[in-house]
Structure 1
Amino acid sequence: MPCRVKICGITRTDDAIAAVQAGADAIGLVFYDPSPRAVTIDQAATIARSVGPFVTVVGLFVNPTEQLVRNTLEQVDLHVLQFHGDETEAFCQQFQRPYMKALRMRPELDVEVEMAKYPSASAILLDAYRKGVPGGTGESFDWTRVPKRSSRPIVLAGGLEPENVSLAVTTTGTYGVDVSGGVESAPGIKSAQLIESFIINARAG
């Protein structure tokens, strides 16, 4: 089955449309103010409307308040939530949306033990670890740490780009890949050419 592809950190409608035209399965909108890829509610609502009904729109949060998530859901058509902080399972599952829980791959992390803490997650996203940075580092991790047999989909993130994504997919057999900086010409500004190359290579893996 072809690897699914999410293009994250979309800040412009043109970039969302370019991702859809290149065959992306999902786009990601960042609701975390310190990120250079953060969007306002109004921006996010406009972008979400631009992709059509068959592309999954994912909202990314980092240790948000419950009210922030609920306010966002009232105004933006999000299909899936993605949590990148220290959120508990009880917090993640209260919004009546499928969710992905991101795990940052610290050297001492027991992946399967940590995954077991989120049995209600639709998928687990594995991302590179850098102290104090909840994602978007542009760094990768040892792909051999990705569990080969998992009862839930695993999404691979961290340091992916057109040049290495095929090897990443081949090595891990992952359900999906998530890219942000690896398809940008500047932080928050996507390159249609890099998006297209990334998706072609991901599905060739």
Structure 2
Amino acid sequence: MWTLMDSARAVRPAVMTKEERSGRPPVDRTPLIAWATGHLSEMLAQAPGEPDLTQQHTLALRHAAAGMSNAEIGQAMCLTEDTVKSHMVEVFNRLGARGRTGAFVIGLARGVIRPHDVLPAGSEPLELAATHRLLLLLIACGLSLPEVAALAEMSLDTVKSHLRVVLRRCGTTRSSHTVAVAIVLGLVQIPGLTLPVREPA
């Protein structure tokens, strides 16, 4: 069975040892970026055009997109954490998403999540290094951090270190929320995803 990781590996160059890489120019990550954006475009094309979400599902998704944990969402909506988990699983199913990050990408594309739902208070434009944008793009594809590390040819510790920097710069605490923030700020581009003009704070 061909997996998401198999298709990503097919476009990346073979992993080389540190000694083999020394003296060589950096690895061209253009094919990996093309694969990731293609995968995300396909994910959006396959997602329902008009998601069938209840008001509670929509509100739970918007709270999650704001960076809230299930417990925090439960407090805000006067629900138990288990009920929130059930709502989130139902949201993923109805959107055709594999998890929070995919649900955020699809929710933003379909207008269920609005840009102002995502951005932390006082968000200002920021710049991210190309490596940071690549890592967020791969996370947006639903890849785990070990899979991201393998594809980006970095150690898992290096990926986690980069992610901590990105979380701090974006003012977020979760990688899925950070991906949503990066999409809203235009730092991660996904073909086929057009956001409405940001509302003033």
Which bracket does the TM-score occupy, shorter chain normalised?
under 0.3
- Greater relative CO (CA pairs within 8 A, separation 6+): 2
Q: Which has the higher strand share?
A: 1
Please tell me whether Structure 1 or Structure 2 has the larger radius of gyration of its CA atoms.
2
